[in-house]
Chain A
């Protein structure tokens, strides 16, 4: 137990909460300043946690109040938590910088609604994300998931337009169904094993599996199925993706960036925690293949629908539906009983690389799409002609982010897909490799649909609907560059993802 690092974990969890409480009790003029001041602090804490995990090469653990599980609640940070915490603070910080001018309280006027709400909800999302990445207790994670839902849904309909209200309502109903199923599963696990702590559950489940006369743990599989389906609804994996495109395309650009880059990943993160963390070596092989099949369907279906969209933000949203699919190849590839440890580790790293590079690229892309729409006054793809001449930096950001999504070298997306691809090929699961290649081609197709007119000539007599300041474009560009430069990260740094990871390959129940 490393109680020493505990204050860092608590701080990561509580910084955004402090921000919410401060904003609620102080004058609205300070709203943006408070939120923006917390963001570098949050990044510093996340980096400190990552550094600690890196130097100790193990996970951090903190028992809140000194009460050890099963009675108390543990916070835990392993390699993937650290990576997610850092990614989260980067993307949230970028979204804050991007939205700074847009959501500024008007001077010498009564408080305005949208600016106040935006910052509160952004901090709420941040708090929820950190709670998900650090949570070691299934019920605590349920509360964290609800925090995320309650902050994300109002962001979707921040503008108050009827279509965004409808999208938010649909999102809320999906999310609530997801939480209810998750909670039900957690309840059954408590009934069967007497704890909600993931590490203790893993130990008790493993002990049960090792008994001479193994009991058929029906409770475990029913609970796992319920929780997984619930979390899939929140992750928007095909065919539970229906809520995502209207919700993500209707939100303000900064919010869409956060929702698409991070919020859907939080529930994916929890599925991984359950399947790999709670069931080390027991991952059900058939279920893993099923998840990958749904992922493959998501890639094909999402990409084809993205190709057919008439509006830029919807295209980007459907691209999220497709890119989420890649993440689910981690399940069969990293838990393949026939795979070598090296190959499984390759798939594991590839999956997380895909997650991080997609987070950066998609945040950049939503910001760029938002800026393009602001310049043009609309976001119809048919009317994108010549937009590169007006906002070149934005279009470059969009193109770079697109390169990472397609998997063009040397981007982070390329490395991610290469790792997954080589794992699939080396394990003889070539059909998943085919889908990945096909997905790359389709992504190229839908991005070409945007970039080709954007780089063309401007229509005669065109005037911009709004002037876009350089610094907002720069934020999108930096994120897109980040997604590309991830491909240059030294191989050694990938080890971070492996720290604190339970052994997963080689012992899978069939």
Chain B
């Protein structure tokens, strides 16, 4: 087994683990972490593909390597947005559970401010 294959399997495993966490975790923060594992796995697979493309005196194909950097940045931005959303939800409701049927019924009612887009 070559190192590339080893890391390729690692990436595949990370994807599976992340996906499992994303489906089964109850708390949104855990789902965010699972999403990051999943993304990390996808990037590792991409990194293996880059490594396999080593040529022209380079240790790897620079195109996928550059795209991974872009992907990591986008993933970070997604994490930041999601974490902020979770924290705000926690601030408003005292919990981060977001299943509609778990919210107290009165919060489901659409209030006037919602209709006018929160522009009091």
Contacts and interface: CB of A to CB of B under 8 A. Distances in A.
A-side interface mostly: helix
B28 interface: yes
Given A163-B107, A176-B82, A252 B117 contact: yes
Interface stretch (A9-17, A165-173, A391-399): A165-173
A102 interface: yes
26 contacts: A71-B63, A112-B119, A118-B117, A139-B70, A146-B74, A146-B78, A153-B81, A159-B118, A161-B92, A162-B89, A162-B103, A163-B103, A165-B92, A168-B85, A172-B78, A177-B35, A177-B38, A180-B35, A180-B38, A180-B39, A184-B42, A191-B45, A246-B100, A250-B114, A313-B110, A379-B115
A254 B115 CA distance: 10
A319 to B, nearest CB: 17
A115 B117 CA distance: 9
B111 interface: yes
A97 interface: no
Interface stretch (A40-48, A326-334, A341-349, A369-377): A369-377
Contacts of A166: 89, 93, 98-100, 103
A157 to B, nearest CB: 7
A103 interface: yes
B38 A173 contact: no
A162 B52 CA distance: 48
Contact of A150 (B35, B77, B98): B77
B98 to A, nearest CB: 4
B50 to A, nearest CB: 9
A158 B117 CA distance: 6
Nearest to B42: A184
Nearest to B102: A166
A201 interface: no
B46 interface: yes
A183 B72 CA distance: 12
A164 interface: yes
A103 B45 contact: no
Interface of A: 70-71, 99, 102-103, 112, 114-115, 118, 139, 142-143, 146, 149-150, 153-154, 157-170, 172-173, 176-177, 179-180, 183-184, 187-188, 190-191, 194, 246, 249-255, 311, 313, 370, 373-374, 377-379, 465
B53 to A, nearest CB: 8
Contacts of A164: 114
B13 interface: no
Centre residue among B39, B78, B111 by max chain A CB count within 10 A: B78
B70 A143 contact: yes
Nearest to B90: A165
Contacts of B86: 169
Contact of A165 (B64, B71, B89): B89
B59 to A, nearest CB: 17
B9 to A, nearest CB: 14
Interface string B18-30: 1000100000100
A418 B63 CA distance: 47
Contacts of B114: 159, 161, 163-164, 250
B35 A252 contact: no
Interface string B50-84: 00110000000001100100110010011001100
A150 B117 contact: no
A373 B35 contact: no
Contact of A253 (B74, B82, B115): B115
A187 B63 CA distance: 12
Given A167-B98, A188-B45, A246-B100, 18 more contacts: A102-B119, A143-B70, A150-B78, A153-B85, A165-B85, A172-B85, A180-B18, A183-B39, A183-B71, A187-B46, A190-B46, A251-B117, A252-B117, A311-B110, A313-B110, A370-B115, A373-B115, A379-B115
Given A166-B100, A180-B38, A190-B49, A159 B117 contact: yes
A165 B93 CA distance: 10
Given A173-B82, A379-B110, A252 B116 contact: yes
Centre residue among A158, A165, A374 by max chain B CB count within 10 A: A165
B37 to A, nearest CB: 10
B42 A172 contact: no
Contacts of B18: 180
Nearest to B74: A146
B6 interface: no
Contacts of A253: 115, 117
Contact of B98 (A154, A160, A170, A254): A170
B102 to A, nearest CB: 9
Contacts of B82: 169, 172-173, 176
Nearest to B92: A162
B116 A161 contact: no
Contacts of B67: 139
Contact of B113 (A118, A159, A194): A159
Given A177-B22, A377-B112, A172 B74 contact: no
Given A143-B74, A169-B89, A311-B110, A183 B42 contact: yes
